[in-house]
């Protein structure tokens, strides 16, 4: 059964449509990420599930019950905010115990639950301190403890990691996933950070301009983007104009200027079913740069010239001119990166490509 | 001069104009007042310099002064409570409104563009015998003769609330602005109603602002003499009116000095108590 269902949700603010006919089902116990740039409607969606804003149209159900008209304080949801939102005038123990006050729980049970929750977030010794005496990462853990101690039906996380600095963010990512896994709680996570989404989610909902662009596992959305937006938003992609000449059995035959013919497996182009204008998507790391003299292999090889090099330590990002296109290539550095101006061979396998219908925008 | 010495000196250079002004215009006159309060006013009306305790004796023991001091503190307390009760919801509304915060704050400040005395006098045109309220009552036939509504303690309090409400609203507003809105959302998500969330989270966090506004309202209303002069009756004198009376009317500087120092001591003690519990920082926030 779905823990949370959105059915044709619309949210308008005046003449602005923040969320446009959104539908999705969130399976019980899963970790679902709403991913998109700022203003795409992801936070609005989360706040509608939380009950902080009302949808203009459509139904929201939690565990099969329509909750549109249930006020926030009776929805039994755990909410974690980007800025932690801990109560500064209450101790950590009082913060964590806050939600238990409104539930029928004896004092001793409540104390035990608070202890267990602090244990779970690995901060058992801070009960008597005040929020501002803790670091940002610790405050975020307390916010999480406060949200899960009430045993909510759904945990809602609104960019919970974005206020932390980079190293801590990656640690918290692992920690958050561990806790979610341990208690098996259905979680809706909002972020604009693709690496967070890819690392943590069971499913990613990619959003843009209030619409769902794609729903799928991290590997689905990364390897088989359903739209140009998704392919550009996740990772670094080369999107090349092409013409789909034929659809046969297992393959699509695409014709590209300068590249020639590329046969893409059908499962890498779920939305392209008939001949016509199309786009070929090649991830930057799926392109391989070699010396022109390297032996021929099973890859398609094109001549190119390195126009710029962006050195990143273990890898380098190259901007390579091939015909009238500039391609981005990300390769691990074996010994030395290729120099600007060097003539290279750009190689790729057709099965690593994806294809989208329609002309490039 | 070393860099360190220069850096140490800089704050004093920047402060010196203000310190000079405070020294010349506040501290030195205050010393004069203290000295005056020990002088003696002779039967001829001349002041005799020296160290006499007669004024202090009169100010501290005469029940007339004590009663008016208590009455002044009571009026100040009622005014402060009225400002808090009326100002808090207004401040909350402004702090939580989405659109026109700047406009609302401007409207709040607007009365400051008009002289306090004129604002006080304006009540005569509203509540006076030939004022707006009486005009309406007469024309509607509700009363046959004009009703005298002015010149009593309630109108003094009305005038003080009118004058001091913006101070309260601003102080509470600043405190509310500093409270993260998501705190109330968080409280609600944990199961408290909006009202419970307000009581548990927003109200306690805004108390310093409420206290700062309260202190300002109390001190300013306890020290006023214009409002009772304009809107009060003969029996509604407040303590500052006694000082005014002694110094301006009777030219009795020694007694006036002792009385004003008494008021200063009482209000100063209140400020110290406030400072002990809440610190001056909040007051500065509200004023800035």
Asked if B218 and A103 count as a contact pair (C-beta separation under 8 A), the reply is: no
Of the candidates A199, A223, A247, which is a domain's last residue? A223
Cα A274 to Cα A160: distance, rounded to the nearest angstrom = 43
Which residue is listed with tokens 């707006």? Answer: B132
Partners of B72 in the β-ladder: none
pLDDT score of A361: 61
Per residue in B128-154, pLDDT (tens digit) is 998 999 999 999 989 888 888 999 999
Chain B: give the shortest CA distance to residue A147, in Å. 7
Q: A230 lies in a domain?
A: no
pLDDT score of B285: 55
Residues A128 and A216 in one domain: yes
Q: A229 lies in a domain?
A: no
Main-chain phi, psi angles of A262, to 5 degrees: -130, 125
Residues A218 and A246 in one domain: no
Cα B187 to Cα A97: distance, rounded to the nearest angstrom = 11
Cα A192 to Cα A41: distance, rounded to the nearest angstrom = 11
Q: DSSP string spanning A191-246? A: ES-HHHHHHH-SEEEEEETTEEEEEE-HHHHHHS-SSHHHHHHSS-EEEEEEEEEE
| pLDDT exceeds 70 at position B282 | no
Number of neighbours of residue A154 by Cβ within 10 angstroms: 22
Residues A248 and A349 in one domain: yes
Give the domain CATH number at A246: 2.40.50.140
Q: B112 lies in a domain?
A: yes
Residues A210 and A264 in one domain: no
Please report, in angstroms and rounded to a whole number, the separation of the first and last CA atoms in chain A: 39
Of the candidates A223, A255, A280, which is a domain's last residue? A223
Cα B199 to Cα B205: distance, rounded to the nearest angstrom = 10
pLDDT score of A360: 62
Between A297 and A50, name the one with better pLDDT. A50
Cα A171 to Cα A295: distance, rounded to the nearest angstrom = 43
Cα A7 to Cα B88: distance, rounded to the nearest angstrom = 41
Q: B32 lies in a domain?
A: no
**Looking at chain B, which runs of residues are DSSP E strands?**
40-41, 47-48
Q: State how many domains chain A has.
A: 2
Burial of B272 (0-12, 13-18, 19+ CB in 10 A): exposed
Give the domain CATH number at B141: 1.10.3720.10
Q: B202 lies in a domain?
A: yes
State the pLDDT confidence band at A258, using cuts at 50, 70 and 90.
Answer: confident
Residues A179 and A258 in one domain: no
Closest CA to A134 of A148, A121, A147, A120: A121
pLDDT score of B5: 83
Residues A219 and A244 in one domain: no
Between B1 and A272, name the one with better pLDDT. A272
Task: Average the pLDDT over each of A12-26, A116-130, A139-153, A254-268 and give the range with the smallest value.
Answer: A254-268
Helices (H), chain A: 42-50, 92-97, 107-120, 136-148, 166-183, 194-200, 218-223, 228-233
- Across the interface, of B183, B189, B194, the residue whose CB is closest to A50 is B189
Of the candidates A166, A192, A223, which is a domain's last residue? A223
Give the predicted TM-score (pTM) of the model: 0.83
- Rounded to 10 degrees, the C-alpha dihedral B108/B113/B119/B125 comes to -100
Q: B266 lies in a domain?
A: yes
Residues A80 and A114 in one domain: yes
Per residue in A210-254, pLDDT (tens digit) is 999 999 999 999 999 999 999 999 999 999 999 998 888 788 899
Mean per-residue pLDDT of chain B = 91
Q: B178 lies in a domain?
A: yes
Quote the domain boundaries for residue A260.
236-357
**Enclosing H/E stretch for A343:** strand A343-348
Q: B186 lies in a domain?
A: yes
Per residue in B214-250, pLDDT (tens digit) is 999 999 999 999 999 999 988 889 999 999 999 999 9
Mean per-residue pLDDT of chain A = 92
What whole-number percentage of chain A has pLDDT above 70?
A: 99
| pLDDT exceeds 90 at position B98 | no
pLDDT score of A259: 84
Give the domain CATH number at A207: 3.40.50.300
Which of B99, B176, B186, B187 would best serve as a mutation to test chain A binding (most A beta carbons within 10 A)? B186
What whole-number percentage of chain B has pLDDT above 70?
A: 96
- Residue A247, C-beta contacts closer than 8 angstroms, at least 6 positions apart: A253, A266, A272, A273, A274, A275
Q: DSSP string spanning B196-248? A: HHIIIIIHHHHHHHHHHHHHHHHHHHHT--HHHHHH--TT---HHHHHHIIII
Is B180 at the interface with chain A, CB within 8 A?
yes
Is A216 at the interface with chain B, CB within 8 A?
no
Nearest residue of A to residue B193, measured between CA atoms: A73
Structure tokens belonging to residue B252: 């009795």
- Across the interface, of A73, A86, A98, the residue whose CB is closest to B193 is A73
Q: State how many domains chain B has.
A: 1
Using a CB-CB cut-off of 8 Å, the residues of chain A touching B180 are 83, 85
Using a CB-CB cut-off of 8 Å, the residues of chain A touching B278 are none
Structure tokens belonging to residue B50: 């020296």
Per residue in A129-145, pLDDT (tens digit) is 999 999 999 999 999 99
Q: A228 lies in a domain?
A: no
- Across the interface, of B190, B201, B204, the residue whose CB is closest to A99 is B190
| pLDDT exceeds 80 at position B286 | no
Quote the domain boundaries for residue B205.
56-287
pLDDT score of B288: 44
Is B49 at the interface with chain A, CB within 8 A?
no
The ipTM is 0.84
Asked if B128 and B134 count as a contact pair (C-beta separation under 8 A), the reply is: yes
What whole-number percentage of chain A has pLDDT above 90?
A: 76
Question: How much is the average pLDDT of B262-278?
Answer: 89
Q: A34 lies in a domain?
A: yes
Using a CB-CB cut-off of 8 Å, the residues of chain A touching B191 are 73-74, 76, 99, 101-103, 150
Asked if A239 and A232 count as a contact pair (C-beta separation under 8 A), the reply is: yes
Cα A138 to Cα A146: distance, rounded to the nearest angstrom = 12
- Rounded to 10 degrees, the C-alpha dihedral B77/B81/B82/B83 comes to 100
Please report, in angstroms and rounded to a whole number, the separation of the first and last CA atoms in chain B: 35
Residues A197 and A334 in one domain: no
Nearest residue of A to residue B180, measured between CA atoms: A85
Cα A96 to Cα A118: distance, rounded to the nearest angstrom = 8
The verdict on a CB contact (< 8 Å) between A146 and B204 is no
């Amino acid at each position: 059964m779905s823990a949370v269902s959105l059915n044709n949700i619309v949210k308008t603010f005046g003449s602005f449509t923040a969320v446009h006919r959104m539908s999705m089902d969130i399976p019980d116990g899963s970790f679902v990420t709403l991913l998109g740039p700022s203003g795409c409607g992801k936070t609005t969606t989360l706040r509608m599930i939380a009950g902080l804003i009302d949808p203009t149209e459509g139904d929201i159900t939690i565990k099969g019950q329509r909750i549109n008209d249930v006020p926030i304080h009776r929805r039994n949801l755990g909410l974690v905010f980007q800025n932690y939102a801990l109560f500064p005038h209450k101790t950590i123990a009082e913060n964590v115990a806050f939600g238990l006050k409104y539930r029928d729980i004896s004092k001793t049970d409540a104390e035990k639950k608070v202890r267990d929750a602090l244990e779970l977030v690995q901060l058992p010794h801070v009960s008597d301190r005040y929020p501002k005496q803790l670091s940002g990462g610790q405050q975020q853990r307390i916010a999480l403890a406060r949200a899960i101690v009430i045993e909510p039906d759904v945990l809602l996380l609104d960019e919970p990691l974005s206020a932390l600095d980079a190293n801590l963010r990656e640690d918290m990512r692992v920690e958050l996933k561990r806790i979610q896994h341990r208690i098996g709680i259905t979680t809706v996570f909002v972020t604009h950070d693709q690496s967070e989404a890819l690392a943590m989610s069971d499913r990613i909902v990619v959003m843009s301009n209030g619409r769902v662009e794609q729903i799928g596992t991290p590997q689905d959305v990364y390897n088989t983007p359903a739209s140009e937006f998704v392919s550009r938003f996740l990772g670094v992609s080369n999107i090349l104009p092409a013409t789909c000449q034929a659809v046969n059995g297992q393959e699509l035959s695409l014709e590209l200027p300068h590249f020639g013919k590329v046969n893409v497996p059908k499962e890498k182009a779920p939305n392209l079913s008939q001949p016509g204008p199309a786009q070929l998507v090649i991830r930057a790391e799926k392109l391989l740069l070699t010396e022109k003299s390297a032996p021929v292999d099973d890859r398609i090889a094109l001549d190119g010239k390195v126009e710029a090099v962006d050195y990143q330590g273990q890898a380098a990002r190259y901007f390579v001119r091939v015909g009238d296109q500039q391609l981005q290539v990300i390769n691990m550095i074996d010994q030395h990166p290729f120099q600007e101006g060097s003539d290279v061979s750009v190689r790729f396998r057709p099965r690593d490509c994806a294809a989208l219908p329609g002309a490039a925008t | 001069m070393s860099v360190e010495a220069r850096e140490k000196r800089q704050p004093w250079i920047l402060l010196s104009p203000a310190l000079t002004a405070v020294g010349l215009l506040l501290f030195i006159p205050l010393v004069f007042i203290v000295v005056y309060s020990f002088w003696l006013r002779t039967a001829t009306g001349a002041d005799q310099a020296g160290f006499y305790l007669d004024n202090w004796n009169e100010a501290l023991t005469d029940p007339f002064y004590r009663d008016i001091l208590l009455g002044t503190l009571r009026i100040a307390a009622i005014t402060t409570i009225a400002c808090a009760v009326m100002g808090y919801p207004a401040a909350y509304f402004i702090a939580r409104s989405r659109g026109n915060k700047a406009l609302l704050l401007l409207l709040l400040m607007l009365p400051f563009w008009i002289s306090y005395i004129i604002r006080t006098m304006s009540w005569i045109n509203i509540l006076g015998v030939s004022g707006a309220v009486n005009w309406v009552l007469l024309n509607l036939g509700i009363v046959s003769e004009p009703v005298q509504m002015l010149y009593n303690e309630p109108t003094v309090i009305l005038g003080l609330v009118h004058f001091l409400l913006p101070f309260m609203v601003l102080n509470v507003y600043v405190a509310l602005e500093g409270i993260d809105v998501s705190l109330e959302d968080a409280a609600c998500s944990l199961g408290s109603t909006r009202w419970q969330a307000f009581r548990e989270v927003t109200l306690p966090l805004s108390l310093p602002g409420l206290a700062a506004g309260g202190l300002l309202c109390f001190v300013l209303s306890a020290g006023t003499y214009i409002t009772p002069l304009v809107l009060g009756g003969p029996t509604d004198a407040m303590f500052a009116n006694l000082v005014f009376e002694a110094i301006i009317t009777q030219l009795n500087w020694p007694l006036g000095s002792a009385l004003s120092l008494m008021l200063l001591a009482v209000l100063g003690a209140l400020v110290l108590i406030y400072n002990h519990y809440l610190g001056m920082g909040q007051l500065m926030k509200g004023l800035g």
